[in-house]
Structure 1
Amino acid sequence: MATIADLENLIGAPRRPAPDNDWTAIEAELGLRLPSDYKRLMARYGSLNLDAFLGLYIANPGDRPGESMREAVLGILHDLGPHEDEELEVVDDQGKVLEVRYFQHYPSPGGLFPWGSTQNGDVCLWETKGDPNAWKACISDGTFMWRHSDGILDFLVKANQGSLSCPLLPNGGKLDRTYTFM
């Protein structure tokens, strides 16, 4: 399992301190406990953009004044799909179809929850079943979802090493090891 130090070795140290986050308040508003690796990542870097392509946001992905975190998340999921009557095909690193099924969205138990997005409009998310520290990093364009075998830090480290095969990332799944604060 990858660590913050592994990612920092690839993209460098933060150039400025990350904002403080009240995770107790954030998780209370969302009604959801978030993965520890995500909270450590956001505590070290804050919201950031990798390869000018994949953006990770802290808790509130919305940019409209007065919008709650929950409202912003629901808006992203509404725009993404799939909707109640649509199945989503899930594939792995090798392009193998793992399953085809209906997915619920947050706030439904086990529903999809976003943690980032790409410049192509794809959404990075988790399927929130079970222990948050076991949630797998996923990316979806609304018609299919690519699922990584591990969490967000492992996904980011492998994407920056070029050892993923994700069809929704540029260059065959390799990010260029650059980041900027959002």
Structure 2
Amino acid sequence: MAGITALTQLCPPPGQAMNSHWQAVEASLGMSLPQDYKQLADRYGPGVFNDYVHVYHPQGMTEFVNLTGPMPGRIRAQLRKDDEQGTHPVPYDPETLFACAGTDNGEYLFWITDPAADPDHWRIAVNEARGPGWFTYDGTLTAFLTAVLGGQAQVPLFPAGLVEPSARFAPARPVLREPAPLAGSRPVDTRSIRSWARAHGYAVPPRGRIPLGVRDAWERRKPTE
């Protein structure tokens, strides 16, 4: 609780706390989430810190900032491609990186999900937008935000004036139109994914959202499978 207390003292949250039904969220992702993140998401809701850092949220207003939407999987796929093709070096196994936030400049913040069974000890990695640089913070997402917004930690990839004049949070506003799909995105037959997953030993629910880990595995399958 110390982490969320320090952040709320530095950057007062808006309005009343919300409940994101974390059991269902974690089931849809196929993994447990850090306790500090769940406190942060419930206390602040969807929105942006200092007009720059957008923390992904289970109730994000668009797919581009929704924790349970397609963005974490797409970003991981791009990291995997960069790593395999040598486009940009990736200092961690892409399979251990889960995007949890993005910035207005195009950087992504990741949980380093190692050890997988201990999410409260996941560290934070940030990659450079359109470049090879990386920054690692040895602490939780909430601690990272508190340190960066409070001026105790500097991320070389972020703009110098990020902490001026003070830490602030702006709630997200409802989106009145659907965002255009990302290039290359296409509808998929979820029945085919479920059938493939069961044939390869994955546990999938008969209906509802397919866990992200299963979707990732299906997208990486060989064309002959």
Could you tell me the TM-score, scaled by structure 1's length? Answer: 0.77
Identical-residue share of aligned pairs (%):
27
1:83 deviation in Å?
3.6
- Hey, what does 1:95 align to over in structure 2? none
d(CA) in 2 for partners of 1:159 and 1:68? Answer: 22
User: Which residue, out of 107, 126, 132, partners 1:139?
Assistant: 126
Gap runs ≥5 in structure 1: 90-100, 106-110
Q: Give the 5 Å matches for 1:9-158.
A: 9-12=9-12, 14-59=13-58, 63-64=62-63, 69=68, 71-79=70-78, 82-86=82-86, 88=89, 101=91, 103-105=93-95, 111-130=96-115, 131-141=118-128, 143-158=132-147
d(CA) in 1 for partners of 2:149 and 2:9? Answer: 10
d(CA) in 2 for partners of 1:52 and 1:37? Answer: 22
d(CA) in 1 for partners of 2:92 and 2:149? Answer: 31
d(CA) in 1 for partners of 2:159 and 2:79? Answer: 20
d(CA) in 2 for partners of 1:83 and 1:172? Answer: 32
Larger Rg: 2
1:154 deviation in Å?
1.1
- Hey, what does 2:194 align to over in structure 1? none
Gap runs ≥5 in structure 2: 173-225
- Whether the 8 Å contact between 2:46 and 2:56 is mirrored in structure 1 is yes
1:19 deviation in Å?
3.5
Q: Answer 1 or 2: higher relative contact order, Cα 8 Å, separation at least 6.
A: 1
- Hey, what does 2:158 align to over in structure 1? 169
Could you tell me the TM-score, scaled by structure 2's length? Answer: 0.63
Deviation string 1:73-105 (CA, Å, 9 cap, x unpaired) is: 21233355634343636xxxxxxxxxxx45223
Q: Which has the higher helix share?
A: 2
- Whether the 8 Å contact between 1:61 and 1:72 is mirrored in structure 2 is no
> Against the structure 1 CA distance between its residues 124 and 64, is the aligned structure 2 distance closer, same or farther, given a 3 Å change threshold?
closer
- Whether the 8 Å contact between 1:137 and 1:155 is mirrored in structure 2 is yes
> Against the structure 1 CA distance between its residues 143 and 10, is the aligned structure 2 distance closer, same or farther, given a 3 Å change threshold?
same
